[in-house]
Amino acid sequence: MIREEDRMRDIFIAGNWKMNLSCEAAMQYARDFWPPEEKGLITAVAVPFTMLESLEEGLEGSSLLVFAQNMHYEDSGAFTGEISASMLKELGTDGVILGHSERRQYFGETDEAVLLKAKKAVSSGLIPIVCVGETLEERDAGRHFERVESQVRSLFTGLDPEEAEKVTVAYEPIWAIGTGRTASSDQAQEMCAFIRKTVRDIHPGAADKVLIQYGGSVKASNIADIMSQPDIDGALVGGASLDPEGFADIVRRAAEAKGLRIKGRQGR
């Protein structure tokens, strides 16, 4: 456990629903999941586009932020099937996941596009969570640092220092996503520290401000171990965020591992 006075940054726990649930289920989730209101604790759920509006409505008065899972970097134009930052803002969306490995893998998203999207998100007032991470082959071949460094460098060298400090990075080793195989907390810390060092090389002033999350088979039983690491500020939780009670448990354990005692009762 980390003592609260030693914690330098906010704790940021986000759920990624991916292509799951429904508008009705999202409304029910908004009734069942009410995050603790604690200074220094940020919570969010990233949901399918169709659920953004109903969730924003259902969460009125709650501190839970609502994120999208992707967006286009242009404001408008002939981009069939895409959604712009201004369209997300119109619905009251707070942030957006960018460059998730599933988007890189199945939809051809490149580092160049992720940079343009991150810049657009920041200038639009959306909080970007940019995902990076290596494949199993890359890790087995000892090329995981090289892979993640190239993703982090291509992002941060394209950002101004003021933009850089507004970006949250999620380290999600692809081999740990949806597999039940979590990176050990030492492996996660080693890479998150490396990400921060790489950011420091490019933007020395931003490195201690950038929030870094770990993602990949995070659940209630492993969150405290992960969060007890100094360079890990939060988690991006997939499958385990779909159940409001389970997600509430993860949030509470994460906060406590960083020395934040949840005072009030969770829930409405």
Residues that bind ligand 13P (CB under 6 A): 16, 100, 172, 177-178, 215-218, 236-240
* 186 to 97, 182, 191, 193, 213: CA distances (angstroms): 25, 11, 9, 10, 14
The least distance separating ligand 13P from the CB of residue 173, rounded to whole angstroms, comes to: 10
Is residue 172 part of the annotated active site? The answer reads: yes
Task: Report whether 11 contacts 210 (CB < 8 A).
Answer: no
The least distance separating ligand 13P from the CB of residue 178, rounded to whole angstroms, comes to: 4
Place of tokens 């009410």: 34
Report the residue number, 183 or 207, with the smaller CB distance to ligand 13P: 183
The least distance separating ligand 13P from the CB of residue 86, rounded to whole angstroms, comes to: 25
* 185 to 21, 223, 231: CA distances (angstroms): 30, 9, 11
Is residue 109 part of the annotated active site? The answer reads: no
Report the residue number, 206 or 229, with the smaller CB distance to ligand 13P: 229
The least distance separating ligand 13P from the CB of residue 117, rounded to whole angstroms, comes to: 16
Report the residue number, 207 or 212, with the smaller CB distance to ligand 13P: 212
Report the residue number, 206 or 254, with the smaller CB distance to ligand 13P: 254
Among the listed residues 72, 134, 172, 203, the single catalytic one is 172
Among the listed residues 100, 138, 163, 203, the single catalytic one is 100
* 55 to 2, 81, 132, 268: CA distances (angstroms): 33, 21, 27, 16
Phi, then psi, of 12 in degrees rounded to 5: -130, 110
Phi, then psi, of 207 in degrees rounded to 5: -60, -40
Q: Which residues does the annotation mark as catalytic?
A: 100, 172
